[in-house]
Amino acid sequence: MKTIILKINSQRIDLAKIKIAAEEIKRGNLVAFPTETVYGLGADALNEKAVAKIFKAKERPFNDPLIVHIADLKELYRLSKQVPPVALELAKMFWPGPLTLVLKKSELVSNIITADLDTVAIRMPDDNIALSLIREAKTPIVAPSANLFGRTSPTTAQHVAEDLNDKIEMIIDGGKTKVGVESTVLDITVSPAQVLRAGGISVEQLKKVIGEVKIGEELEMGFRSPGRLNSHYSPRAKLILVEEKGETQASKVLQIAFEYKGQGFKVGIMAKEENKDQYNGFKVKVIGKGNELKTCATNLFSILRSFDQEGFEIIIAEGLEEQGLGLAIMERLRKAAVPKYEC
Ligand code: AMP
Ligand code: MG
């Protein structure tokens, strides 16, 4: 099939165009669209055949459940059979926005969406195009990131086309996404609530609203959230993450860079603004200032993809501080990286 690209200005929405995309969704077809986090690959959540197409296009295993996107809080009550007060508190504070809530699912939600779990993940995206599309389609929309499974998430329509061109009916091009990392996934069926995936809303922000939350290593995960697979978000190049902090970080990066260069590899470095001048002779892409994590989050995936596009074989990435959005960035870099580099 030929993928249609529909350009829409997110500041001045052309409703006629949104209606064309909504028709595709209603017909049971796939439409990639921008959200504030990354581009999503959308299908009608209430049409099982349409949902199945997502797994095929992305080559995603059926045991990895999807997030349902809504534009109206009332949908929570249709999709979940049990909406605790904390869900409303969080929704009031963070929706529309990059927070996904895991709740007990209702009969309406198909098992193909939830990978046979009895819970469903729901969020309201903070993006005009996404919200209008859901409203015009008059149905909740499931939308995992619009990339091939396991690969770097897309933050532009071009990234989506790189992975899914001619595999899906339509891509809405609404420009670059503003957050750049996926939503935080928070399970509120348990107490205390558990962060299953770090993301656009920080743990610090959550704690301010609901007090205690469990995160990361404190969890005894099992297979509750398959998004926690160890390898994910990977560029084609081999990514080496240098977690060292402070003054030793740059010298460690340089040492590894020279070792790989010496072996004939094309080596790129993803560095913080403050370290960028330390890597003479290497291609450096700046993720942002180390203390401007919002900027770093926006740039993360597009830098990894651009190294791939330019044929780099090795990417050495400087680790960032794990506070605020830094936790989401580091979670992604660790999964994108090779487990242990061999020099
Ligand atoms: P993606 O849509 O690719 O950003 O990934 C969605 C992720 O949300 C999954 O990989 C899971 O980690 C998480 N998720 C979705 N549904 C559930 C659920 N019912 N329970 C726990 N985690 C979920
Ligand atoms: Mg994804």
Tens-level pLDDT at each residue, the chain (343 residues) = 999 999 999 999 999 999 999 999 999 999 999 999 999 999 999 999 999 999 999 999 999 999 999 999 999 999 999 999 999 999 999 999 999 999 999 999 999 999 999 999 999 999 999 999 999 999 999 999 999 999 999 999 999 999 999 999 999 999 999 999 999 999 999 999 999 999 999 999 999 999 999 986 555 444 455 455 667 899 999 999 999 888 899 999 999 999 999 999 999 999 999 999 999 999 999 999 999 999 999 999 999 999 999 999 999 999 999 999 999 999 999 999 987 554 4
For residues 337 and 51, give the distance between their C-alpha atoms in angstroms, rounded to a whole number: 30
Amino acid (one-letter) located at 121: A
In a domain, 168, yes or no: yes
User: Which residues does the annotation place in the binding site?
Assistant: 37, 60, 69, 119, 123, 143, 145, 153, 183, 197, 233
- Whole-number Cα distances in Å, 51 to 70, 74, 162: 15, 22, 21
Q: Which ligand is nearest to the CA of 151?
A: 2
Question: Is residue 317 within 8 Å of residue 333, measured between CB atoms?
Answer: yes
Same-domain status, 175 and 254: no
CA nearest ligand 1 atom 9, residue: 227
In a domain, 26, yes or no: yes
User: C-alpha angle 98/103/104, rounded to 5°?
Assistant: 160
Q: 183 C-alpha vs ligand 1 centroid, how far in Å?
A: 10
Buried b (16+ CB within 10 A) or exposed e, 37-59: bbbbbbbbbbbeebbebbbebbe
Same-domain status, 161 and 273: no
Q: Which of 38, 58, 67 should be mutated for ligand 1, with most atoms under 8 A from CB?
A: 67
Among 228, 28, 37, smallest CA distance to 141 is for 28
Instruction: Write down the pTM of the prediction.
Output: 0.95
Same-domain status, 302 and 174: no
Give me the CATH number covering residue 254: 3.40.50.11030
Same-domain status, 210 and 297: no
Same-domain status, 268 and 125: no
Same-domain status, 39 and 111: yes
Same-domain status, 20 and 142: yes
Give the binding-site residues of ligand 1, using a 6 Å CB cut-off.
64-67, 102, 114, 117, 119-121, 144-145, 182, 185, 196-197, 224-227
Q: What are phi and psi of 245, to 5 degrees?
A: -105, 165
Same-domain status, 177 and 242: no
For residues 338 and 220, give the distance between their C-alpha atoms in angstroms, rounded to a whole number: 24
Q: Which ligand is nearest to the CA of 64?
A: 1
In a domain, 222, yes or no: no
DSSP states of 72-100: STTHHHHHEEE--HHHHHHHHHH-SSSEE
Same-domain status, 180 and 287: no
Task: Copy the structure tokens of residue 114.
Answer: 């939830």
Q: How many domains does the chain have?
A: 2
Domain hosting 67: range is 4-215
Same-domain status, 249 and 110: no
For residues 188 and 83, give the distance between their C-alpha atoms in angstroms, rounded to a whole number: 9
